[in-house]
A and B are shown apart, each in its own frame.
Chain A
Amino acid sequence: FAGLADVSISEDIPVEGEITVPVGSRSPDEDYSTLDEPVRDTIMRDLKAVGKKFVHVMYPKKSSALLRDWDLWGPLVLCVSLALMLQGGSADSKDDGGPQFAEVFVIIWFGAVVITLNSKLLGGTISFFQSLCVLGYCVLPLTVAMLVCRLVLLAGSGTVSFVIRLIVVVAMFGWSTLASTAFLADSQPPNRKALVVYPIFLFYFVISWMILTFTPQ
């Protein structure tokens, strides 16, 4: 600071320069312009995002699209469709339609919450809703398995159909577990991956079991 002490600016020299801040390409008005677009655009944009995530689940590469902008639309749609398809699968269909739907719904969401809490307690860096999003989206292969099982059961319910259903469900269960592990295990310390994978395995195992033992009446 000693060198600057003798700098002086004479008062008759005008100071020049540009004080304006360069305006960014997005003016504040653009943030609110999505209110004016037609409803079709909004819905199509959300549907495209959900569809892109479905594709990511079916071909699990190491991409961060599922994690970066999470949404719970996909899991909700999958959960509701799975619960609807699992309805009416017990011997007495008088009053058992209700509990089946609520059962599946509660199992999926309660199970996903427990797994998320477990992975956070084990020192994971993933956020609560990101984990819910991944677990919900990875139910997609099992929903496909349920669809296939229902179609196979339309044809008949003998040993052959059971074997086909078993193979399909086991394959989809493996796919679900691998897909969710690919997304979730990266956020854990490397020596604790097994501790996080086991509850995910159990969760999808319970859902697969419900799908496999489904018998329509």
Chain B
Amino acid sequence: AGPCIMSAPGAAAAGGGRSAAAAEWGGFEDNMQGGGSAVIDMENMDDTSGSSFEDMGEMHQRMKEEEEEEAEGEAGAADEEDGEFLGMKGLRGQLGRQVADQMWQVGKRQASRAFSLYANIDILRPYFDVEPVQVRARLLESMIPVKMINFPQKIAGELYGPLMLVFTLVAILLHGMKTSDTIIREGTLMGTAIGTCFGYWLGVSSFIYFLAYLCNAQITMVQMLSLLGYGLFGHCITLFVTYNIHFHSLFYIFWLGVGGLSTLRMVAVLVSRTVGHTQRLILCGTLAALHMLFLLYLHFAYHKVVEGILDTLEGPNMPPFQRVARDIPIVSSAVLNTTAKAVALTL
């Protein structure tokens, strides 16, 4: 190591001297320093890539295994002798422990490598890079339709807000189903709520993205997910209010007002990113229809269609709204009658 260490300061000095002169050619400095000294710098021989560690680890393990085989061979030969047997057993026990330790290390290393390869959530990390103020601003913006539709509107590709809104919708839906004593056969309340909300968010986003591809609209999948997710904010507000205050006129006002505003916003953003009247009509008509109909569906399918205040404290006085009522004509016609009455009363 002596000559190498002596050469390193020399090379550095030479490199420094040359670098002062060759300051304009920044890229040449490294090459000059390496080429200046004739002796190879031992410090650069240390290859710190991962593979060399693994090779060393495997070599080490092979050495241990060979030692163990030797020890086993010797122990097998010395089986009959008691005095030597005890000594061999002690040695074998210790080697055995070391081998077990080594195998545990290798196994753990391999498992962590596989885990970091397949369970890498870092690909989703950029979509969750938000501040609370940004989330609040975007929530409020989702209710305000933009006026400028000739210029493509910016959509933030963020997934935290939409995901939280979908979960909030699930919670509100669960609340609505519980207070209306919805009975689900062959399924669970929670499963239905999660399936409905996530199915709508992912399914309708994919469908509209496909339509956007057909209609040459400029929007990516993440942006579509984000747009539709924030559009569910209106749904959350409407359902939260109307599951607790059971007036049908109130629901229709909220449906048109709040639902309509959030739909208008989504439609305006999409229109600003699409060219051509027919394409705009197809895309926005589909989205508006699906969005408004979903709110209607959520209100009527998961909620008691009976006028008046529900009293869940006193237990079920009236027959609960059965979801499997299709084959019972009496219940379904009763439901139809009450719906028709409700609609007639409010119009």
Residues in chain A within 8 A of chain B (CB atoms): 1, 28, 32, 90-92, 95, 99-100, 102-103, 106-107, 114, 117-118, 120-122, 157-159, 162, 191-192, 194-195, 198-199, 202, 205-206, 209, 213, 215
Contact = CB atoms under 8 A, between A and B. Distances in A.
Contacts of B188: 99-100, 102-103
A32 B313 contact: no
B313 A91 contact: no
Contacts of B313: 158-159, 162
Contacts of A28: 94, 97
A177 to B, nearest CB: 14
Contact of A202 (B6, B124, B167, B189): B167
Interface string B122-164: 0011001011100100000000000000000000000010011
B178 A195 contact: no
Contact of B190 (A103, A117, A157, A202): A103
B160 A122 contact: yes
Contacts of B174: 206, 209
Given A103-B188, A202-B167, A195 B315 contact: no
A121 B124 contact: yes
B190 A106 contact: yes
B178 A215 contact: no
B183 A90 contact: yes
B320 interface: yes
A107 B315 contact: no
B329 interface: no
B158 to A, nearest CB: 11
Contacts of A118: 128, 160, 163
A32 B6 CA distance: 50
Given A120-B121, A121-B128, A206-B174, A195 B160 contact: yes
B308 interface: no
Interface of B: 5-6, 94, 97, 121, 124-125, 128, 130-132, 135, 160, 163-164, 167-168, 171, 174-175, 178-179, 181, 183, 185, 187-191, 312-313, 315-316, 320
A187 to B, nearest CB: 15
Given A32-B97, A95-B185, A209-B174, 10 more contacts: A28-B97, A120-B121, A121-B121, A195-B130, A195-B132, A195-B135, A198-B164, A202-B171, A206-B171, A213-B179
A28 B243 CA distance: 65
Closest CB pairs A-B (n = 6): A121-B128, A99-B188, A194-B132, A213-B178, A103-B188, A103-B190
A199 B121 contact: no
Given A91-B320, A198-B164, A205-B171, A122 B132 contact: no
Contacts of B168: 202
A122 B185 CA distance: 38
A118 B164 CA distance: 10
A1 to B, nearest CB: 7
Nearest to B168: A202
B135 A1 contact: no
Contact of A122 (B128, B189, B316): B128
A1 B131 contact: no
Given A117-B121, A121-B124, A122-B128, A215 B187 contact: no
19 contacts: A1-B5, A28-B94, A90-B183, A102-B188, A103-B190, A106-B190, A118-B128, A118-B160, A121-B125, A158-B313, A159-B313, A194-B132, A195-B130, A195-B132, A195-B135, A195-B160, A206-B171, A206-B174, A213-B312
A159 B312 CA distance: 10
Nearest to B159: A121
A185 to B, nearest CB: 13
Contacts of A117: 121
A90 B316 CA distance: 11
A103 B191 contact: yes
A159 B178 CA distance: 18
Nearest to B136: A194
A199 B164 contact: yes
A209 B175 contact: yes
Nearest to B320: A91
Contacts of B171: 202, 205-206, 209
B183 A107 contact: no
Contacts of B128: 118, 121-122
Contacts of B135: 195
Nearest to B98: A28
Given A192-B131, A199-B164, A91 B97 contact: no
B320 to A, nearest CB: 7
